[in-house]
Structure 1
Amino acid sequence: MAKILLFIALCVIPSLVSSTRMVKSPLVVQGQVYCDYCRAGFETPKTRNMAGAKVKVVCSDRKTGEVVYEREGYTDSTGQYKISVSEDHLDEVCDAVLVKSSQPGCGEMTPGRERARVILTNFNGIASNTRFANAMGFMADEAEAGCAEVMKLFQEEDN
């Protein structure tokens, strides 16, 4: 009997302690996806949100970089997505990542805007269960008419 208890103490209990922690109510990663019709690399007045784009949340081990969690989702008719995550990812690096555009002619991922870091743990002082990711975007194959005027709005003038 003592050997059985020792076996349980040495094998079963540590595996329970190190298993993934479920959160009481799921965390929700929320963000938006857009198409940059001026190929500016950032949002402009010509930018439009993209319905039906495929995104995913990816979490990797902080030390090894190995992917340990993935969950996919799609943007709604307003270009917004919400992906529910039921596990706590305290010791992991998590990102919302663009996967696929839903619009032909707007499929190139904008460099630097193809992923957004999110914190997926309840042990960080954030009261809300919603985690807001930065907007992510695709660029149109060619700039639309009128983009030159839009880009002039963003140029600095030397006085």
Structure 2
Amino acid sequence: MARVLLILALCVLLPALISAARPMSRPFRLQGKVYCDTCRAGFETSATTYIPRAKVRVECKDKEQKVLYTMEGTTDSTGTYHILVNEDHGEETCDVVLVSSPLGDCKTADPGRDRARVVLTSYNGIASDKRFANALGFMKDDILSGCTTLLQSLMEEED
């Protein structure tokens, strides 16, 4: 009886453990943008600029909020970051968070736009390995001239 259990464990559990420890053959390709809110509007406008060389981090946490996985990335000249994630994080909550901005006058993270939730699992019906995160933003220290007019025109369009 013990032999049968041992053989069963080797046939069932060992392959499952090996496949869980192996990196994915097609990693998730996470993409997003980092911007500077030049009007301090709390959202992207036509005056928004995108930040090259900004740093972001992917954090995946378990139900007890213990960080189990992190990976950093840096934006390119268009303010876009691309991070490869080689593991499935279906049982975890994953966010992309702002780390730092290279702009001296745009270093304050915009509350509410300083993190974005991302889904990093293959078991959710999404066929693609591409994952997109909402844009993350820093706020400029001093509002640009012309922002008052821009924001007023946005309010008029709403009416």
TM range (shorter): 0.7 to 0.9
Instruction: Classify the secondary structure of the residue corresponding to 2:150.
Output: helix
Partner of 1:91: 91
Partner of 1:148: 148
Q: What whole-Å deviation, never above 9, does each CA across 1:42-82 have from its counterpart, x for those lacking one? A: 00111001000000111001x21100000001000000000
Amino acid at match of 2:84: S
Partner of 1:117: 117
State the TM-score, normalizing by the size of structure 2. 0.87
Alignment of 1:1-12 (within 5 A): 6=6, 9=9
Partner of 1:48: 49
Amino acid at match of 1:44: T
Question: In 2, distance between residues paired with 1:158 and 1:13?
Answer: 60
Question: In 1, distance between residues paired with 2:21 and 2:156?
Answer: 50
Alignment of 1:26-41 (within 5 A): 26-41=27-42
The structure carrying a bigger strand percent of its residues is 1
Question: In 1, distance between residues paired with 2:98 and 2:142?
Answer: 20
- Does structure 2 conserve the Cα–Cα contact (< 8 Å) formed by 1:21 and 1:88? no
Change (3 A) 1:21 1:93: farther
Question: In 2, distance between residues paired with 1:127 and 1:93?
Answer: 20
Q: Structure 1 vs Structure 2: percent identity of aligned residues? A: 53
Partner of 1:106: 106
Question: In 2, distance between residues paired with 1:65 and 1:18?
Answer: 26
State the TM-score, normalizing by the size of structure 1. 0.87
Amino acid at match of 1:28: R
Partner of 1:132: 132
The structure carrying a bigger helix percent of its residues is 2
- Does structure 2 conserve the Cα–Cα contact (< 8 Å) formed by 1:57 and 1:71? yes
Question: In 2, distance between residues paired with 1:138 and 1:55?
Answer: 12
Q: CA deviation at 1:154?
A: 2.2
Coordinate RMSD, CA, aligned: 2.6
Instruction: Classify the secondary structure of the residue corresponding to 2:148.
Output: helix
Where structure 2 has 5 or more consecutive residues not aligned to the other structure, the ranges are: none
> For this pair of structures, how many residues does the alignment match?
155
